Amino acid sequence: MLLMTQEFARAVELLQAGELVAFPTETVYGLGADAANPQAVAKIFAAKGRPADHPLIVHLPGAAFLDRWARDIPAVAWELAEAFWPGPLTLILKRAPEVPYAVTGGQETVGVRVPAHPVALDLLRAYAQAGGGRNGMCGIAAPSANRFGRISPTDAAHVQEELGNSVALILDGGPCLVGIESTIIDLSRGDELPPRLLRPGHFTPEQIAMVIGILPELPEVRSGGNEPRVSGSLDAHYAPLTPMRLVATAQLPEVISEVRKAGRRCGLLVRTRQTLSVLPHSQRQLPDHPEGYARGLYAALRQLDQAGNDVIVVEDIPADSSWGAVADRLRRAACGSGSA
């Protein structure tokens, strides 16, 4: 979906004035503000109900702008940027002195990426051409455009449902093609220590290793306790308001039958065809491969959340590394939705 030049001009004008603009990325829709303007960044936190110590990701027009936001940039950062930008990879680096603490959650690290969506890139380039906001930094902070902890938006209509008049302008770029948030890699320790995976995403640890020659440290093998705080790292996140359960494929008929016999309305999210003697109140089926499943996950959860269900039952996914990012989102969503 192509946007008119005047829409970009209006978006740039609003961003430079310290207002909020929602726009599509390849992952999810972002709630954008001038990342160099602490007052504008504060509006993001207020609109989302987001804790002030929860850092934001800064979106850049290209890798050439990286040294405005980071210092002591290790060689592997440039290698990853060359391989994966524009794309759904966020790098955690040491904060440049000009970067406000409002955008880093008070930390000495900053998360940056270059999005792949053409609308996001056109907006960022127009913003840079117009002066790039405060101090000419040319960065737009843009967490997911939804209430904090809830289902991320993958369509412009989702943003309107979630935030309404809190946003000055919503740029409609159609549905997001990746559908889940970016992979986050911590490079803030420099070249001496291996990178750390802080949030799984579209790009896998194996793909990262293909570029830099070493597998990032994974959460289950890290000592923990000293990693930078990053977006989407809380136990409860991406969650529907309706209680949600992950259920093994073989147990789906029994669980659905129990829910319906108790007089409760059941929403069902599956990836394989089911033959059920007791039908759920509503059902969505996603592709049985990780990319297709991820692309449709948040929209499906949102639909089931709004369908008047008492519980959402989700068919469990394969215990395979290619499903790692989806598994992460489902686990956090189930935790945030409460117990069924």
The residues, any chain, with a CB within 8 Å of residue 336's CB and separated by 6 or more, are: 149, 150, 235, 236, 237, 238, 239
Residue 116 near residue 26 (C-beta atoms within 8 A): yes
Q: Per the domain annotation, does 33 fall within a domain?
A: yes
pLDDT score at 339: 41
> CA-CA distance, 100 to 107, in Å (whole number)?
10
Is the peptide bond prior to 88 cis by the omega test (within 30 degrees of 0)? no
Query: Distance of CA 134 to CAs 65, 119, 140, Å?
Result: 14, 22, 11
Name the helix (H) or strand (E) containing 251.
none
Task: Examine the domain organization and report whether 63 and 133 are in the same domain.
Answer: yes
Task: Examine the domain organization and report whether 182 and 51 are in the same domain.
Answer: yes
Task: Examine the domain organization and report whether 248 and 217 are in the same domain.
Answer: no
Task: Examine the domain organization and report whether 271 and 213 are in the same domain.
Answer: no
Task: Examine the domain organization and report whether 10 and 102 are in the same domain.
Answer: yes
What tens digit of pLDDT does each residue of 88-118 get? 999 999 999 999 999 999 999 999 999 999 9
Mean pLDDT computed over 211-236: 78
Q: Write down the H helix ranges in 130-231.
A: 156-163, 205-212
Q: Per the domain annotation, does 156 fall within a domain?
A: yes
Local confidence band at 224 (pLDDT 50, 70, 90 cut-offs): low
pLDDT score at 338: 64
307 phi-psi bin (left φ>0, alpha ψ -120 to 50, beta other): alpha
Dihedral angle over CA of 55, 209, 331, 52, nearest 10 = 0
For the packed helices 290-305 and 324-337, what is the interaxial angle rounded to 10 degrees? 20
Which stretch of 21-25, 58-62, 187-191, 266-270 has the lowest confidence by average pLDDT?
187-191
Q: Per the domain annotation, does 321 fall within a domain?
A: yes
Residue 314 near residue 246 (C-beta atoms within 8 A): yes
Task: Examine the domain organization and report whether 248 and 296 are in the same domain.
Answer: yes
Local confidence band at 201 (pLDDT 50, 70, 90 cut-offs): very high
Q: Per the domain annotation, does 232 fall within a domain?
A: no
pLDDT score at 1: 43
> CA-CA distance, 23 to 206, in Å (whole number)?
30
Of 256, 246, 222, 250, the C-alpha closest to 335 is: 246
Residue 161's domain is classified under what CATH number?
A: 3.90.870.10
Q: Per the domain annotation, does 233 fall within a domain?
A: no
Mean pLDDT computed over 202-231: 84
Task: Examine the domain organization and report whether 297 and 157 are in the same domain.
Answer: no
Domain encompassing residue 293: 244-337
Task: Examine the domain organization and report whether 36 and 155 are in the same domain.
Answer: yes
Mean pLDDT computed over 289-306: 97
% of the chain surpassing 70 pLDDT: 96
Residue 263's domain is classified under what CATH number?
A: 3.40.50.11030
Q: Which of 221, 236, 254 is the last residue of a domain?
A: 221
Number of domains making up the chain: 2
Q: Which of 169, 189, 221 is the last residue of a domain?
A: 221
Q: Which residues pair with 186 in a beta bridge?
A: 92, 196
Query: Token match 């702008």: residue?
Result: 65
Tokens at residue 20, please? 């909020």
DSSP string spanning 95-127? Answer: EPTTS-HHHHTT-SEEEEE----HHHHHHHHHH
Q: Per the domain annotation, does 228 fall within a domain?
A: no
Task: Examine the domain organization and report whether 253 and 214 are in the same domain.
Answer: no
Query: Token match 């880093």: residue?
Result: 104
> CA-CA distance, 133 to 103, in Å (whole number)?
14
| pTM of the model as a whole | 0.94
**13 secondary structure, DSSP code:** H
Task: Examine the domain organization and report whether 260 and 320 are in the same domain.
Answer: yes
Task: Examine the domain organization and report whether 149 and 111 are in the same domain.
Answer: yes
Task: Examine the domain organization and report whether 175 and 257 are in the same domain.
Answer: no
Q: Per the domain annotation, does 317 fall within a domain?
A: yes
pLDDT score at 225: 57
Q: Per the domain annotation, does 90 fall within a domain?
A: yes
CB neighbourhood size of 212 (10 A): 19
Largest interatomic CA distance in the chain: 64
